[in-house]
Amino acid sequence: MSGLLEVEAAGGLAVYGARAVPGAAETRAQLVADNVPARLAAKDPTLWGPEAAADAKIRLGWLDTFRRGRELLPRLAELRDELQNTGLDNVVLTGVGGSSPAPEVIARTLGVDLTVLDSTDPYQVRAALNNRLASSVVVVSGKSGGTIETDSHRRACLKAFEDADLPDLPSRFVIVTDPGSPLEAVAEEMYANLILADPEVDGRYSALTAFGIVPTALAGVDVAELLDEAEEFAPSLADAVTNPALTLGAALAAATLSGRDKIALISDGTGLVGTGDWIEQLIAESTGKQGRGILPVVIESPDAPGAVRHDVLTVTVGGSLPPESVPGGGITPHIAVNGPLGAQFLAWEYATAVAARLLRVNPFDQPDVAESKENTQRILAAGLPTETPAFVDGPIEVYGADLGHARTVDQALGWLLSRVPPDGYLAVLAFLDRFGQAEAAQARAGLADHTSRAVTFGWGPRYLHASGQYHKGGPPTGAFLQITGTVTEDLPVPGRPYTFGILEAAQAAGDREALTRRGRPLVRLHLTDRAAGVSRLLAAVDELPWVS
């Protein structure tokens, strides 16, 4: 694509092709005419309209939080030394939504071990607890301090330490939260290490705050380097002439407004690992509301199905490229974004906030996330619903209303795909162990190979705090394939009347309720044998005919 030759670069980060996206140049000119770069630099909270102003007033700290982040570094260096000296060198992070994708990307990209526990699946929780427990230190991250997953994980870790009679209990916990949150009080009660985060930054914009920095610094990342990368890039954000993040935001919005409202996020293989998962949460929660939004579609590799579609903006993301090299990881995307991780964080946060202004949504709220959480609480109190499968196909029970003549898994998948409107999408939502049943994620590419529609994949419950907002608040064009699995060895949530297995099932049921109440087509596959069920599902995907 010819547009890709054109590049806008500043402070170490280059955005290729964005100005050539139809409508982007005009949209960008309008942003400059509205003085957006200077107003954002001055943290003008009125940029998203009067209704968003109250949120924006206390949520624009990400523009320069990396400077304040430096203040944490001496304390983190000291804490890491102390922990290492007592043999605590296995860092486990518990946290969901804004608290986990950024640290995971940082650790994976920089090749540092960090166990991210963001699931209620009992097998995944148990695996994290069983991995070098004696040398584990647990970072409990939560902005609000009231999130059920994080609270449950903290309880399970404490119980595991107690049961194993391990010494130094309080120092095994590092709590990261906003000042005044209930978690702050818990930290004091436990005599745990407490690190307060910047309250003027929302979770999904918090990569360069304590939420991103603390777990990764304790795991051994040189976080000062990330902060330097952000600092080097930051001055461009106030510039009207050379401002790659502004152009990226203009292109995202222009594409969306002209019907290319899905963004394929593809790692180009040049050093950044898993950035798509972080960008997904940022874009989906910031823009997917009021029936509008941009749907992020994380694609496994440049040649995987779904990277190119009539309604998809194809974007590759990667590390800095030497001059003269061709971006795009072997394909020709609409846009390529290349630069170091610290600059990427800031660029995508800025571009997303700018795109939200153009889409006329508040980037700092997530109004539709709460409903599934409330449903979960109600189900936990009342007990799990009793449901009868429409039919059983080997190790898979198939649930769904009005599945027509479907009697096999592939027929049910065909039924569901045929209900996705031409501009819609299919979301696969797997409440399984994302390491133990990792191959279930192959269903995304398999399904995308059999349809012209966009297909996304998310692990439950973590997607509830990311694309879950878009599913319920974005355009009403999604169809949903939920996958759940039998739990044969459950794990109690200490101090609570439920187990992790029940919590996970209640979260899945709560989201089903929220989606079906909106009239979205939904099929649930319950794997009565997880391994055999995943194999059967992948075989059924292979057997599917093309659904146009």
Ligand X SMILES: O=P(O)(O)OC[C@H]1O[C@H](O)[C@H](O)[C@@H](O)[C@@H]1O
Footprint on this chain of ligand X (rule: CB under 6 A):
96-99, 142-144, 147, 150, 203-204, 285, 366, 369, 465
Residues β-bridged to residue 173: 138
- Alpha-carbon gap, residue 149 to 281, rounded angstroms: 17
Task: Report the nearest approach of ligand X to the CB of residue 289 (Å).
Answer: 11
By beta-carbon proximity to ligand X, the closer residue of 96 and 341 is 96
Task: Report the nearest approach of ligand X to the CB of residue 540 (Å).
Answer: 32
By beta-carbon proximity to ligand X, the closer residue of 203 and 302 is 203
Ranges assigned E (strand) in 453-548: 454-459, 478-485, 522-527
DSSP output for 61-88 = GGGTHHHHHGGGHHHHHHHHHHHHHTT-
By beta-carbon proximity to ligand X, the closer residue of 95 and 306 is 95
- Alpha-carbon gap, residue 169 to 210, rounded angstroms: 22
Residues β-bridged to residue 136: 90
Task: Report the nearest approach of ligand X to the CB of residue 465 (Å).
Answer: 4
- CA angle, 119 then 125 then 128, to 5°: 115
Chain-centre distance for alpha carbon 83: 29
Task: Report the nearest approach of ligand X to the CB of residue 177 (Å).
Answer: 8
**For residue 326, what is the DSSP state?**
P
By beta-carbon proximity to ligand X, the closer residue of 65 and 147 is 147
Task: Report the nearest approach of ligand X to the CB of residue 466 (Å).
Answer: 8
Task: Report the nearest approach of ligand X to the CB of residue 59 (Å).
Answer: 11
267 near 344, Cβ under 8 Å?
A: no
Task: Report the nearest approach of ligand X to the CB of residue 377 (Å).
Answer: 13
Task: Report the nearest approach of ligand X to the CB of residue 324 (Å).
Answer: 40
Which tokens go with 205? 């914009």
Task: Report the nearest approach of ligand X to the CB of residue 511 (Å).
Answer: 12
Task: Report the nearest approach of ligand X to the CB of residue 462 (Å).
Answer: 10
By beta-carbon proximity to ligand X, the closer residue of 373 and 524 is 373
Beta strand 312-318 with 295-299: parallel, antiparallel or unpaired?
unpaired
By beta-carbon proximity to ligand X, the closer residue of 285 and 397 is 285
Measured from each CB, the residue nearest to ligand X is 97
By beta-carbon proximity to ligand X, the closer residue of 112 and 369 is 369
527 near 409, Cβ under 8 Å?
A: no
By beta-carbon proximity to ligand X, the closer residue of 115 and 150 is 150
- Alpha-carbon gap, residue 302 to 307, rounded angstroms: 7
By beta-carbon proximity to ligand X, the closer residue of 232 and 511 is 511
Ranges assigned E (strand) in 45-103: 90-94
> Could you tell me which of 309, 314, 359 has the C-alpha nearest to residue 334?
314
- Alpha-carbon gap, residue 231 to 544, rounded angstroms: 50
CA of 485: how far to CAs of 258, 395, 531, in Å? 40, 10, 10
**For residue 546, what is the DSSP state?**
P
Task: Report the nearest approach of ligand X to the CB of residue 151 (Å).
Answer: 9
By beta-carbon proximity to ligand X, the closer residue of 3 and 97 is 97
268 near 233, Cβ under 8 Å?
A: no
Helix (H, G, I), strand (E, B) or coil at 119: coil
Which amino acid is located at 521 in the chain? Answer: P
- Alpha-carbon gap, residue 512 to 523, rounded angstroms: 9
By beta-carbon proximity to ligand X, the closer residue of 143 and 512 is 143
Helix (H, G, I), strand (E, B) or coil at 110: coil
CA of 118: how far to CAs of 74, 201, 212, 234, 271, in Å? 28, 21, 15, 31, 24
